[in-house]
Structure 1
Amino acid sequence: MNQSRLNRILEQMKLNNLDQIIITAPNSLYYLLDQMFHPGERMLALYINKEGKHAMIANALFPSAKHLDTQVLFYDDTQDPVEILKGLLIDGNFGVDKEWPSHFLVRLMKKVPNLTIEIGSVSVDTPRMMKDADEVKRMKHASKVNDQAMEQVVAALREKKYSEIELKKLIPTFYESLETHEVSFSPSVCYGENGAVPHHDSNETMPGEGAVLIDMGGRTDGYCSDMTRSFYYGQPTEEYRKVYDLVLEANLAGIAAVKPGIKIYQVDDASRKVIADAGYGDYFTHRTGHGIGIEVHEFPDCSGVSETVLEEGMTFTIEPGIYLEGKFGVRIEDVVLVTKDGCEVLNSYPKALQSL
């Protein structure tokens, strides 16, 4: 059990008037226990009360749990884990994980009908926003690996013309060569007008002279990276150069806006204003970014409605884009770490326009 992280969760429980919570989301369990579980349909829950007492309820199929630094209450498939949880409860408000399957929750509500239930995940999500020294080290390493993987992608594109789907299948092998054995999300490879769809699903399209957009990330030592770079096969057109330069300016404006004490919507505003002032506001169709850490998308989002105040240690993406239907799309994405007086960009792969 990571005691300092547990203490931060206990502080949040007090602020949120929670006397006890359960954590069931595998990524949040990893945050505290540094061990990843994939329980499938079986119940796996870490119970914590306001006094700091904790216990894990785990199926006997997960014997590795016995090595955890907490009491472990094992059950088998002939037993009801909800009944075990009932035995741990104390009087007071009970926070449940936002990802806990409803069939467990409904059974608990029937067993303890007077239980006051709240969503408890905010007491975990808030501490997870601010990365500690170990997490920062892992995040920096993950982004360094991502830079190296992008170098391999560009080298592959210059050596041979792959279809979108062929290159997408190659990308995990680049991470493997860098001892990263899991992508943090399904890579996006977009040629030409396909890049105008922000979440285009790569297909058999072959590259011709025109735009190339690569969005990719790996999960290294438990932490995620995420980066987008846009390129051009051949000589970029005047329109493409204009849009590219605009998106890069918006990316840099968002980065420049980051500092502790401002609200995260101000970062979105800074990036979006650059694009809107140039007349392309209607073509920037998504938020500027998202939190990142153990998960590639985690709290908070970097949108125009996010009131979250930036604090030192937060990590999130800045990824403005312009998408011109039937033509091309340009997106430039970096992961940033909020520092004492600004931010540090964790990616170092170049952002100057490259021809392939």
Structure 2
Amino acid sequence: MKLNRLDKVITAMKENNIPQMLVTDKLSIFYLTGKMINPGARLMALYLNANGEHKLFLNELFPVHEDLGVEKVWFNDTQNAIEIVSNYIDKTSTIGIDKNWSARFLLSLMDLCPNCKYINSSFIIDSLRMCKDDEERELMRKASQINDTAMVKLQETLLQDLTEKEVASKLATIYEELGADGFSFSPIVGYGANGADPHATPSNNKLQIGDAVILDMGCIKDSYCSDMTRTVFYKEAPEKACEVFEIVLEANKRAIALVKPGMRFCDIDNAARGYITEKGYGKYFTHRTGHSIGLETHDIGDVSAINEDLLKPGMIFSVEPGIYLPGEFGVRIEDLVLVTEDGHEILNKITKELNIIK
């Protein structure tokens, strides 16, 4: 077990009067044990008790031979896994449950333990995962370094007269060659008018001279995610598109400049959104300014107008303002930003200035 992280979880459980908790999210279990186990549709659960009596419930289909610092309780497909779990919990007190635990498991446990009080306890680990420790920060830097290199290589493919789909497919090979472990999300490649859809699906469109090209991509390395967007131009950059690009770039820079401990997420959002609105494009900035990232591409926490939480050292999130003009083009520029003890660090190092691919 990652004892420093476990200690923080137990402390938070006691502070919130949660004597016991079932952690069933595979990424949260990895966060606490250092072991990534993918049980698919089968049950896996880490039982934590404030008194220190912890158990890891595992199906025999997923053998784990290492000592994870917690007692393993095994079961197989011929056994009732929920009944086995129920034998270890205090059936008369509160128990914390993960927010995404399957109803088929939770309802069965509620039938077996009707006198328990069930509450959503995900906020405990979610809040800890928001602030990365030194080990996690370095892993996030490495994932972003790979993504930087991959972005440069992907932009080079734009000179090969490929469709959006073909460019997107090239990325898998690029990531593999660079040592990434796969995609953190399906890449977005949008030429011209297709880039006006913030979540554009790569199509069979081919590049036209003057197209703005949105490339939004991320990889996983050692379980941690990267994410970055660059907008480049093919052969030439039309005047209106240049104007919009510079507005988005300035919005990105203004928002990042504010990042430091004690600022609010909504202040970061307002720096980008306020500038774009001032320039007359506010209604075309249709999404939040960013999202937290770590073991998941979208960790808990976002950079939005309604999030008044304070920034803390170790938080990592995207700053990705955009302007999307239906039927014309879109521009988005995204960096990952780490909140340091006295300011911030931008994890993406490659240029985000106006770039015309020739």
TM-based fold match above 0.5: yes
Whole-angstrom distance in 2 between the partners of 1:217 and 1:292: 11
Whole-angstrom distance in 1 between the partners of 2:350 and 2:251: 17
Q: Please tell me whether residue 15 in structure 1 is matched to residue 23 in structure 2.
A: no
Whole-angstrom distance in 1 between the partners of 2:89 and 2:120: 16
Counterpart in the other structure of 1:317: 318
Counterpart in the other structure of 2:234: 233
Counterpart in the other structure of 1:83: 83
Q: Give the CA deviation at 1:302.
A: 1.2
Counterpart in the other structure of 1:41: 41
**Deviation digits for residues 272-294 of structure 1, max 9, x if unmatched?**
11101111100000000000001
**Deviation digits for residues 228-262 of structure 1, max 9, x if unmatched?**
00001122111111100000011011101111112
Q: Please tell me whether residue 176 in structure 1 is matched to residue 159 in structure 2.
A: no
Q: Please tell me whether residue 220 in structure 1 is matched to residue 221 in structure 2.
A: yes
Structure 1 alignment gaps of length 5 or more: none
Confirm or deny: 8 A CA contact 1:57 1:74 kept in the other structure.
yes
Structure 2 alignment gaps of length 5 or more: none
Give 3-state SS (helix, strand or coil) of 1:206's partner.
Answer: coil
Q: Give the CA deviation at 1:326.
A: 0.5
Confirm or deny: 8 A CA contact 1:16 1:123 kept in the other structure.
no
Q: Please tell me whether residue 3 in structure 1 is matched to residue 7 in structure 2.
A: no
Give 3-state SS (helix, strand or coil) of 1:317's partner.
Answer: strand
Counterpart in the other structure of 1:302: 303
Matched AA of 1:226:
D
Q: How does 1:242-261 map to 2 (within 5 A)?
A: 242-261=243-262
Q: How does 1:15-164 map to 2 (within 5 A)?
A: 15-64=15-64, 67-90=67-90, 91-158=92-159, 160-164=160-164
Whole-angstrom distance in 2 between the partners of 1:336 and 1:272: 17
Confirm or deny: 8 A CA contact 1:192 1:212 kept in the other structure.
yes
TM-score (norm 1): 0.98
Confirm or deny: 8 A CA contact 1:215 1:229 kept in the other structure.
yes
Change (3 A) 1:305 1:65: farther
Change (3 A) 1:129 1:65: farther
**Deviation digits for residues 311-343 of structure 1, max 9, x if unmatched?**
000000000000000000000000000011211
Q: Please tell me whether residue 193 in structure 1 is matched to residue 180 in structure 2.
A: no
Q: Please tell me whether residue 291 in structure 1 is matched to residue 297 in structure 2.
A: no
Q: Please tell me whether residue 270 in structure 1 is matched to residue 285 in structure 2.
A: no
Whole-angstrom distance in 2 between the partners of 1:190 and 1:229: 11
Whole-angstrom distance in 1 between the partners of 2:234 and 2:39: 45
Give 3-state SS (helix, strand or coil) of 1:52's partner.
Answer: coil
Change (3 A) 1:15 1:263: farther
Confirm or deny: 8 A CA contact 1:267 1:302 kept in the other structure.
yes
Give 3-state SS (helix, strand or coil) of 1:231's partner.
Answer: strand
TM-score (norm 2): 0.97
Matched AA of 1:248:
L
Matched AA of 1:82:
I
Give 3-state SS (helix, strand or coil) of 1:299's partner.
Answer: coil
Q: Give the CA deviation at 1:65.
A: 5.7
Confirm or deny: 8 A CA contact 1:65 1:72 kept in the other structure.
no
Confirm or deny: 8 A CA contact 2:181 2:222 kept in the other structure.
no
Whole-angstrom distance in 2 between the partners of 1:311 and 1:344: 13
Counterpart in the other structure of 1:205: 205
Whole-angstrom distance in 2 between the partners of 1:12 and 1:196: 44
Whole-angstrom distance in 2 between the partners of 1:93 and 1:335: 38
Give 3-state SS (helix, strand or coil) of 2:114's partner.
Answer: coil
Whole-angstrom distance in 1 between the partners of 2:7 and 2:310: 21
Give 3-state SS (helix, strand or coil) of 1:63's partner.
Answer: coil
Confirm or deny: 8 A CA contact 2:165 2:189 kept in the other structure.
yes
Whole-angstrom distance in 2 between the partners of 1:291 and 1:78: 40
Higher alpha-carbon deviation: 253-262 or 284-293: 253-262
Matched AA of 1:220:
K
Q: Give the CA deviation at 1:66.
A: 5.5
Whole-angstrom distance in 2 between the partners of 1:53 and 1:338: 35
Q: What percent of counterpart residues are identical?
A: 43
Higher alpha-carbon deviation: 43-52 or 187-196: 43-52
Confirm or deny: 8 A CA contact 1:287 1:304 kept in the other structure.
yes
**Deviation digits for residues 44-80 of structure 1, max 9, x if unmatched?**
0000011233110010101126643211000011111
**Deviation digits for residues 173-212 of structure 1, max 9, x if unmatched?**
1111111121100001100100000001111111111110
